[in-house]
Amino acid sequence: MFLFFMVLGVVIAAAIVAGVLPRLSRQKGLLAASEQAVERKPVVLASAAHFGAAQNTVDLPADLVAMIESPIFARADGYLKSRLVDYGNHVKGGQLLAEIETPELDQQISQARANLEQSQATIKELESDIDLAGANLQLARVTYDRWQHLEQKGVVSRQDRDERQADMAVKEATLRKAESALATAQNTIHANQANLQRLEELKSFARITAPFDGVVTARDVDIGTLINAGSKELFRVARIDPMRIFVNVPQAYVAAIAEGQTAEVRVQERPGEAWRAKVTGISNSLDQNSRAMLAILQTANPGGELYPGMYAQVRFNLSQAKPVLRIPGDALILGKSGPRVAVADAGGIVHFRSVAIGQDLGSEVEITGGLQPGELVISNPTDAVTEGAAVEVRKR
């Protein structure tokens, strides 16, 4: 019995030892791994602050706009008689685009011509009346002179002489009336002539012509369409050589843009091709919402590869009088205390620096203060990167 309990005790002790020793070994290994992890330094990627090039390029989005683009409206009422051009046709200035049939206007012109002819006939009649009145006045004057001479000799009475004088005055009034009627008729002729000229000029607008050399970009009518003057756009013609480019320049680049400056224009639809453009005007004012200034460029487009409404990229070459420090954009830390960067010194110790930033160039940011050339700035610092922490630096 005693031997049984002894054997049982040995078995139990062996079991306890077999279970406890591996656990103690695992705990010791975990403790050692933990101590090793604590002693290991966090690995960071760092880049040296460096000066940017004296000349930089910046790409800005832009819109292509025709040099001139004019809607063409009708000036005369009627029906479209013929249409000679369509979408995309190239036209010359003065080229006939369409004709309008104007029956009502034609009737008005015929009526105006008849009124003018009637007024001209009236003029001839009034001129004859003036000739007759002038002859009667001349006779009345001669008669009066004779009677006045006879009255002085006592041959006729004063009453007879006065009657001849009154008759002469009536003839003078008749002549003035005829002359006044003639002047009125002449004014009527001028009015009729002006009205006829107006209608004929209006009739000339029945021929729709191109105002300049260009391409037809829109056509909204066809043969038989009822046309009301000024109410419907018939065509739209655009001059696409040269082409204008509208660019909104951010405030950071405004000082580097000036009239006469050259740039390159690229469109996604034509990879590998570039057009040389020149700044022809700037607005000299910034938009209150976007804080950008409108710059207008001009480029030759003899082949017509560029179209109005295209989205483009304009590349400016901007010169800097003084080089500015640059760091990677992901090294900048923005917080309540302002922009900062984490700097690793020669011993791998972290120090945080407050910096002043200049232009945001996308992948890089300009630093105008708070940092020295060559200092290593840490990209994407984690929570392990704290003030005074020791880190393992790997340069990018």
Give 43's strand partners: 392
In this structure, the answer to whether residues 194 and 142 fall within a common structural domain is yes
Question: Of the given ranges (20-34, 36-50, 195-209, 296-310), which has the lowest mean pLDDT?
Answer: 20-34
For residue 2, pLDDT over 60 is answered with: no
Q: Are residues 261 and 309 in the same domain?
A: yes
pLDDT at 384 over 50: yes
In a shared domain, residues 121 and 171: yes
280, part of any domain: yes
250 and 273 fall within a common domain: yes
Report the range out of 70-84, 157-171, 315-329, 382-396 with the highest average pLDDT: 70-84
Which pLDDT band, with edges at 50, 70 and 90, does 36 fall under? very low
User: Worst-scoring range by mean pLDDT, 92-96, 144-148, 231-235, 259-263?
Assistant: 144-148
Q: Is the pLDDT of residue 21 over 60?
A: no
Among 154, 169, 204, the domain-final residue is: 204
Contact 372, 353 (CB under 8 A): no
- Is residue 78 located within the same domain as residue 114? no
Specify the number of domains making up the chain.
3
Q: What is the mean pLDDT of residues 303-321?
A: 85
- Each residue's pLDDT tens digit, 229-281: 888 899 999 999 999 999 998 887 888 888 999 999 999 888 889 999 999 99
Q: Would you say residue 49 lies in a domain?
A: no
Q: Tell me: do 216 and 313 sit in the same domain.
A: yes
169 and 121, same structural domain? yes
**What is the average per-residue pLDDT within 115-121?**
86
Give 63's strand partners: 246, 311
Q: Residue 100: which of 234, 198, 217 has the closest Cα?
A: 234
Q: What is the DSSP string of 128-150?
A: HHHHHHHHHHHHHHHHHHHHHHH
- Residue 362 pLDDT exceeds 80: no
Quick one: tokens of 207? 């021929």
Average pLDDT score over the chain = 84
Residue 294 has pLDDT above 90, yes or no: yes
User: Which has more pLDDT, 314 or 7?
Assistant: 314
Question: Do residue 93 and residue 218 come from a single domain?
Answer: yes
Residue predicted with more confidence, 350 or 54: 350
Considering the chain, what percentage of its residues have pLDDT values greater than 70? 88
Of 300, 320, 340, the residue at which a domain comes to its end is 320
CATH code where residue 259 lies: 2.40.30.170
CB 160 within 8 A of CB 152: no
Q: Based on the fold, state whether residues 81 and 224 are members of the same structural domain.
A: yes
Residues 156 and 193 in one domain: yes
Residue 38, pLDDT > 60, answer no
Q: Give me the domain span that covers residue 260.
A: 54-100+208-320
Residue after which a domain boundary falls, among 148, 172, 204:
204
My answer on whether 82 and 113 are in the same domain is: no
The residue-averaged pLDDT of 288-308 equals 91
At residue 22, the pLDDT reads 59
